Amino acid sequence: MSNLTETAAGFRISVHAPKRLLYGPGPSQVHPRIYQAMAQPVVGHLDPYFFQISQQVQKGLRTVFGTVNELTLPISATGSGGMETAVSNFIEPGTKLALFVSGFFAERIGEMARRHGAEIVRLEKPWGESFTPEEQVDFIRRERPQVVAFVQAETSTGVFQRSRALCEAAHEVGAIVIADCVTSLGAMPVNIDENGIDVAYSCTQKGLSAPPGLSPVTVSPLALERLKQRKSPNRSWYFDLSLIADYLSESHRYHHTASATLFYALHEALALIDEESLDLRQQRHKIAHDRFVTGIERLGLKMLVAPGQRIWNLNTVLVPEGVNEAKVRAYLLEKHGIEIAGGFGPLAGKIFRIGIMGPLASDDGVDRFLAKFDEAMKETA
Ligand SMILES: Cc1ncc(COP(=O)(O)O)c(C=O)c1O
């Protein structure tokens, strides 16, 4: 527990959060400049200054998404809210959805789509594997869906899913493509326009290294056409994209009370990326990932995912025989304030999930982690 001071009546009056090193799958380490931005005065959600910030945020998001999509903005919600935005706007009762499933978050898309009345067809693979271009194309040509959804960076397994062939096949049969970029945005090339992705959503607490609370979303002109052709109104009022776009980009009429503080945080995160350049930032994550994998193999450990299919900023390491992963995680947190995560579902107890992102994606950030990780495994053996 952190040190919380209390009133005489036992009421906690002050928060002294412990300083952690966030090496988990997210939230990732927040850059100090982002904390400074968050200490700025709150302005109203209809203040002209808020809309200036919002406009710059939209511009910065187009760069990190790799898109010219006009409709690119942050939803006031975590990554799951972005997922629900994508699902609720582009699926209505009877919509045929082709879903690629090989991990936890693809299942979540399926669950949301089911609640919105989709007719779902699934292509499944064991957790930790990715779909080949041939498998993607065969499935889509066979099923001829209206919407295709996949997870670009599956945080439950560490797999990065390539999607150029998937998007081409989807467009060939008249479908639009939804991509979950929650873990990849800001750390890996998501390349929305180059890949042909129509709708993508992300979060702020992973590759962008800001606190959780906003979910960047981007929508292609083709998907916007689909939105206009809906037969029924979106069953979700809060995530109705036309209402949100009207508030943030068009009339500036009240829709909800957006958090100026979270917009400042995202603005600063995007400014940091702009200063470093997106290319160099992505390269830095790749270099840190390669150094991490070399170090892990030097310790005699193995990665779950095959080379070439791995997420750079979220590594999944197989728990060796005889090691209790829960004990290792508890040791790291208690002794060194380091957070990492374990696996879940079929991978529970079998993997460590280790994020090397944002300010921690450096030689020093990797070496410091590996030294403590090695120590934790020896001390808990
Ligand atoms: C791939 C993926 N999709 C969706 C989510 C949901 O995001 P959130 O927890 O921010 O709601 C996560 C969270 O880790 C994720 O990793």
Q: Where does a domain end: 257, 273, 289?
A: 273
Distances (CA, A) of 185 to 30, 118, 176, 272, 281: 15, 27, 20, 14, 11
Name which of 57, 71, 66, 118 is nearest 224 in CA terms: 71
CATH of the domain at 355: 3.90.1150.10
Give per-residue pLDDT as tens, 83-110: 999 999 999 999 999 999 999 999 999 9
88 by Cβ neighbours in 10 Å (0-12 / 13-18 / 19+) ranks as buried
The first and second tokens of residue 324, run together, are 């209790």
* Total number of domains in the chain: 2
Q: Indicate if 22 and 121 belong to the same structural domain.
A: no
85: region left, alpha or beta (phi > 0 left; psi from -120 to 50 alpha): alpha
Q: What is the mean pLDDT of residues 67-73?
A: 98
DSSP state of 19: -
CATH of the domain at 85: 3.40.640.10
Q: Indicate if 356 and 263 belong to the same structural domain.
A: no
Q: Indicate if 249 and 290 belong to the same structural domain.
A: no
Q: Indicate if 154 and 303 belong to the same structural domain.
A: no
Q: Indicate if 256 and 286 belong to the same structural domain.
A: no
Cα 185 to ligand 1 centroid, rounded to whole Å: 12
Give per-residue pLDDT as tens, 234-286: 999 999 999 999 999 999 999 999 999 999 999 999 999 999 999 999 999 99
Cα 371 to ligand 1 centroid, rounded to whole Å: 29
Q: Indicate if 244 and 138 belong to the same structural domain.
A: yes
Q: Indicate if 105 and 243 belong to the same structural domain.
A: yes
Cα 47 to ligand 1 centroid, rounded to whole Å: 30
pLDDT of 337 over the 90 cut: yes
Domain region containing 304: 5-28+277-379
Ligand 1 atom showing the smallest separation from residue 155 Cα: 16
Q: Indicate if 319 and 372 belong to the same structural domain.
A: yes
Ligand 1 is surrounded, with C-beta below 6 A, by 26, 78-80, 83, 105, 151, 155, 180, 182-183, 203, 212
Residue matched to tokens 């400014």: 271
If you take atom 10 of ligand 1, which residue's CA is the nearest one?
79
Q: Indicate if 263 and 156 belong to the same structural domain.
A: yes
Q: Are 26 and 355 in contact (CB under 8 A)?
A: yes
Give per-residue pLDDT as tens, 139-159: 999 999 999 999 999 999 999
Strands 119-124 and 96-101, by their bridges, are parallel
Q: Indicate if 75 and 152 belong to the same structural domain.
A: yes
Q: Could you give phi then psi for residue 143, rounded to 5 degrees?
A: -90, -25
Q: Where does a domain end: 273, 293, 310?
A: 273
The first and second tokens of residue 71, run together, are 């409709």
Name which of 156, 114, 121 is nearest 138 in CA terms: 121
Q: Indicate if 59 and 124 belong to the same structural domain.
A: yes
Q: Is the pTM of this model over 0.95?
A: yes
Q: Indicate if 131 and 197 belong to the same structural domain.
A: yes
Q: Where does a domain end: 210, 238, 273?
A: 273
CA–CA dist 81, 284 (Å, integer): 29
Q: Hey, how many other C-beta atoms are within 10 angstroms of the C-beta on 298?
A: 10
Ligand 1 atom showing the smallest separation from residue 154 Cα: 1
